[in-house]
Amino acid sequence: MSRYIADALSKLVSSRAGNRCEYCRILIEDTYFGGEIDHIRSLKHNGTSDPENLALACQPCNRNKGSDLGSISDSSGELVRFFNPRIDEWEEHLRVTRGGHIEALTDIGEVTARLFGFNGPERVLERRHLIELGRYTL
């Protein structure tokens, strides 16, 4: 299967996401590296390029995720899938603090936040600054 995503499909995915990373929720225009179309379930794992398997991701989220599907939860020790923006509600799994950290509320949130690097020092500083500017909503 081709990795190429047609412009029309890319625009549909970006528009559906409000031009915001569907994982960490940063506006794509506020990121230095821009956005990418992510295969929620990677082609490597028999994912498709259908709209229901695509998400808009900032470059750090997409690169940290790679082709992984999940990870071992620190709290439960179980294999847990990542947050899926097509079937999950963000607020059920994650929340943003005024200090710019993204806190996990569930095992899905925990493995997603950890592996996607949501709380790396640079990302927290960026998010905190955007919150102060009113460009990132809590």
Is pLDDT at 29 greater than 50 in this prediction? yes
Length of the chain: 138
Cα distance between the two ends of the chain = 38
Q: What is the pLDDT of residue 3?
A: 63
In one-letter notation, the amino acid at residue 44 is K
Task: Kindly state whether residue 137 falls inside one of the protein's structural domains.
Answer: no
Task: Kindly state whether residue 69 falls inside one of the protein's structural domains.
Answer: yes
Task: Kindly state whether residue 126 falls inside one of the protein's structural domains.
Answer: yes
Task: Kindly state whether residue 63 falls inside one of the protein's structural domains.
Answer: yes
Of 116, 135, 114, nearest to 126 by C-alpha is 135
In one-letter notation, the amino acid at residue 49 is S
Task: Kindly state whether residue 48 falls inside one of the protein's structural domains.
Answer: yes
Task: Kindly state whether residue 2 falls inside one of the protein's structural domains.
Answer: no
Q: What is the mean pLDDT of residues 51-66?
A: 97
Domain total of the chain: 1
Q: What is the mean pLDDT of residues 72-90?
A: 97
Segments forming the whole domain that contains residue 22: 7-132
Q: What is the mean pLDDT of residues 113-133?
A: 97
Task: Kindly state whether residue 119 falls inside one of the protein's structural domains.
Answer: yes
Of 31, 18, 84, nearest to 60 by C-alpha is 31
